[in-house]
Chains A and B, each alone.
Chain A
Amino acid sequence: MDFHSRSAGEKEFITMSDKSSGKPSMDSFSFSVSHQWFGTGLMRLTMTTVGVLVFLLALPTLTFAEEIADSTKPIVWFDTGKTAFALLTFAICATVIICTELARRGKPFYVRPIAGLLAMEEAVGRATEMGKPILFVPGIEDIKEIDTVAGLMVLSSVAKMAAEYDTPLEVPTSRALVMTAAREAVQAAALAAGRPDYYNEDRIHYITDEQFGYVASVCGWMYREKPAACFFLGKFFAESLFLAEAGNAVGAIQIAGTAETTQLPFFVAACDYTLLGEELFAASAYLSGEPAQLGMLKGQDFGKLGAIVLVILGCMLATWDSISPRGKNAEGQNLPRRSQWITDTVLKGG
């Protein structure tokens, strides 16, 4: 697999850890980028940020000028009750963006291997060998769900692999907008693989919005066509086990991923590989191999580190509350717990 960036206008020179073999090392990713990237990357970031800020400041002034002018109350531009949450959001976003920029500058980062993603090429290869189709289900929710978008991002990579091997890829969708986006993704992947003729829009089709109608149709197709590989990546609910069990019954290699925690146990029980929660979101970045995207994964890891520190601090505070209860105030009422002050005051707005 070639891990060159997809940006056509910008020249990126990514050095993978296992360059000699022409394949990425799946044990770890370490990458560096030539410095000429930084200029365009930072420019894009700055332009986007400035553009968005200008728009956001102009929007209320222009669109809601009348309402704001009529208002007798002073305009509150910032809800101070949400300060802590805003700072937290800013800190996480800033960490992710800083890591992206560091990755672009060539700082090598370690990204742990994810078994499910390593198995994707194997699954596509198996389908090719067996001469059977591949099934990709991008969840049952609409494109506004981030899980669906993450699923479509992975679809792009799977479609590229399938196009390279010329293995049929079936993408039934339960939302019309998802179908449109999936068609775009597969068409672009076919072009990127140098096989524009591979794209067949009939294979990416809409079934129904109704959960079990969709399941019945997909499972029926699975029993008839017996796909060799099944990918279930997106937002799933009760249908998860139907799909996974149908795939199991036809003997397909199955890779699933969802951020819907209630469905993870079903996928774990019935599939060969499962991307647990955040791994689904990391998947497309991991598969793209682009430094900017992998840098974001690192930023995510720093966020997790911050969360761990906060959890430990919270536990310590709660323990302190338990072993040393607070006294009473002047009216003889019990003073609130210290941890309660954090939840009621600092974290109130979140």
Chain B
Amino acid sequence: MSKTVPVLIASIVGCLMIVAYFSPPLLPARQMAEDWFTIVATIAIFLGGANLCLHHLKKISDREAGWGFSAVTLISFAITIAVGLLKIGVVPESEQQIKLAWSGPFQQEGSGFWWIYQYLFSPIVSTMFALLAFYVASAAFRAFRAKNLEAILLLITALIVLVGQTRDREITSLFLPPPAEGTPPYVPIADLTEFIRKTFVTAGQRAIMIGIALGVVATSLRILLGLDRSYLGGDE
């Protein structure tokens, strides 16, 4: 029963989403299902928050490897929640709001939460994202090796696209006769990059997308018909 009900819900709502796409009177029902998901996912925040606290408290109490990070996580979590919920530093924006307690948006400029976002969260995530440049360089150095024919093709294509993506591509036009007056110089590698992108990349992407779409259909059917329940923990 504990698995049959979720499978039935998945089947009914899944079929509703499909049929509502073709049947306009069912659109409100589809919207209702979408609203329900948003509600359930929002409630799950509490579940996640509770799990986060329990997990890290246990790590601290067991003095597991990296328990100091757990302490930092919990302290940061508590401060952010307190600052956001108590709306520290938030001032009412309008005459009407002055009469109301706790009025004004929690992300208001100058508020505590805004400060955390602007001066802590924002630089931290930007730094994390920037690390990608280092990882890309390291992965490219290691992976782009001319080991076989396919790898050589991949390597040549990568080099063409890399050069074609920046203004360095104009180096290739230096070897060509000067263009007629008033016309821009012909840049062969730029055209080649565009050709690769429009022809090979787009064709490959479309092929993968068609495969993915069919895979999604088959997986969805497996779920809707209850054939695969492994994501729910299998059969009873």
- A residues whose Cβ falls under 8 Å from a Cβ of B: 6-9, 44-45, 48, 51-52, 55-56, 59-60, 63-64, 67-68, 75-79, 82, 85-86, 89, 92-93, 96-97, 100, 142-144, 146, 149-150, 152-153, 156-157, 175-177, 179-181, 184-185, 187-189, 192, 202, 205-213, 215-216, 220-221, 224-225, 238, 241-242, 244-245, 248, 259, 261, 264, 266, 268-270, 276-282, 284-285, 288, 290, 292-293, 296-297, 299-300, 303-304, 307
- Judge whether A277 and B135 touch: CB under 8 Å: no
B44: nearest chain-A partner, CB-CB: A176
- Judge whether A261 and B209 touch: CB under 8 Å: yes
- Judge whether B231 and A181 touch: CB under 8 Å: yes
- Judge whether A241 and B135 touch: CB under 8 Å: yes
CB of B86 to closest CB in A, whole Å: 21
From B138, B231, B235, contact of A245 by CB (8 A): B138
> Bound complex: CA of A270 vs CA of B138, how far in Å?
10
Determine if B85 is an interface residue (Cβ-Cβ < 8 Å). Answer: no
Q: Which residues of chain B from 189 to 231 have a CB within 8 Å of any chain A CB?
A: 205, 208-212, 214-231
- Going nearest first, the 3 A-B pairs with the smallest beta carbon separation are A176-B48, A281-B215, A184-B233
Residues of B within 8 A of A307 (CB): 210, 214
The B interface, classified by DSSP as helix, strand, loop or mixed, is helix
Known A56-B15, A56-B19, A285-B222: A92·B217 in contact at CB below 8 Å: yes
Interface residues contributed by chain B, number (CB under 8 Å): 72
15 A-B pairs within 8 Å (CB atoms) are namely: A9-B235, A56-B19, A60-B26, A75-B25, A92-B214, A142-B41, A149-B231, A150-B219, A179-B51, A206-B48, A206-B52, A266-B139, A278-B215, A282-B215, A285-B218
Known: A8-B236, A224-B66, A304-B210. 13 other contacts (CB 8 A): A51-B8, A76-B25, A146-B219, A149-B231, A153-B228, A206-B55, A213-B125, A225-B65, A242-B131, A245-B139, A276-B211, A296-B221, A300-B217
From B55, B132, B228, contact of A205 by CB (8 A): B55
* Among B22, B29, B221, residue most surrounded by chain A Cβ atoms (within 10 Å): B22
> Bound complex: CA of A180 vs CA of B46, how far in Å?
13
CB of A194 to closest CB in B, whole Å: 14
Residues of B within 8 A of A8 (CB): 235-236
Determine if B176 is an interface residue (Cβ-Cβ < 8 Å). Answer: no
CB of B195 to closest CB in A, whole Å: 18
From A144, A288, A292, contact of B37 by CB (8 A): A144
- Judge whether A220 and B69 touch: CB under 8 Å: yes
Residues of A within 8 A of B11 (CB): 48, 51-52
> Bound complex: CA of A76 vs CA of B25, how far in Å?
7
- B residues whose Cβ falls under 8 Å from a Cβ of A: 8, 11-12, 15-16, 18-19, 21-26, 28-29, 37, 40-41, 44-45, 47-48, 51-52, 55, 58, 65-66, 69, 124-125, 128-129, 131-132, 135-136, 138-140, 142-144, 205, 208-212, 214-236
CB of A58 to closest CB in B, whole Å: 11
Residues of A within 8 A of B235 (CB): 6-9
Known A96-B221, A146-B216, A207-B52: A48·B226 in contact at CB below 8 Å: yes
The A interface, classified by DSSP as helix, strand, loop or mixed, is helix
- Judge whether B217 and A93 touch: CB under 8 Å: yes
From B47, B129, B205, B228, contact of A285 by CB (8 A): B228
From A52, A82, A177, A292, contact of B40 by CB (8 A): A177
* Among A63, A143, A184, A221, residue most surrounded by chain B Cβ atoms (within 10 Å): A184
Residues of A within 8 A of B28 (CB): 63-64, 67
A60: nearest chain-B partner, CB-CB: B25
Residues of A within 8 A of B26 (CB): 56, 59-60
